[in-house]
Structure 1
Amino acid sequence: MLEALEKIKSAEEQNDRKKEKLLAELSAYEASKKKILQEKKEDLKNTFSEVVAKREQLLTQQLATEEHELTNSAQEAIKTMEKNYLEKKEQTIQAIIERVISEYGS
Structure 2
Amino acid sequence: MLEALERIKFVEEQNEREKEKLIAELAAYEASQKKILQEKKAELKNTFSEVSAEKEKNLTEKLAVEEQELTDSAEAAIKLMEKNYLEKKEQTIQAIIERVISEYGS
TM-score range, shorter chain: over 0.9
Whole-Å separation in 1 of the counterparts to 2:8 and 2:97: 129
Q: Name the residue aligned to 1:2.
A: 2
Shift of 1:38: 0.9
Q: Name the residue aligned to 1:14.
A: 14
TM superposition score normalised by structure 2: 0.95
Paired letter, 1:32: S
Structure 1 unaligned blocks of 5 or more: none
Whole-Å separation in 2 of the counterparts to 1:9 and 1:100: 133
Shift of 1:104: 2.0
Whole-Å separation in 1 of the counterparts to 2:22 and 2:95: 106
Q: Name the residue aligned to 1:30.
A: 30
SS at match of 1:61: helix
Moved over 3 A (4+): none
Q: Name the residue aligned to 1:41.
A: 41
Identical residues among aligned pairs (%): 78
Paired letter, 2:31: A
Paired letter, 2:2: L
Give aligned pairs, total.
106
TM superposition score normalised by structure 1: 0.95
The one-character-per-residue Cα deviations of 1:36-59 (angstroms, maximum 9, x if unpaired) are 111111111101100001111111
SS at match of 1:50: helix
SS at match of 2:21: helix
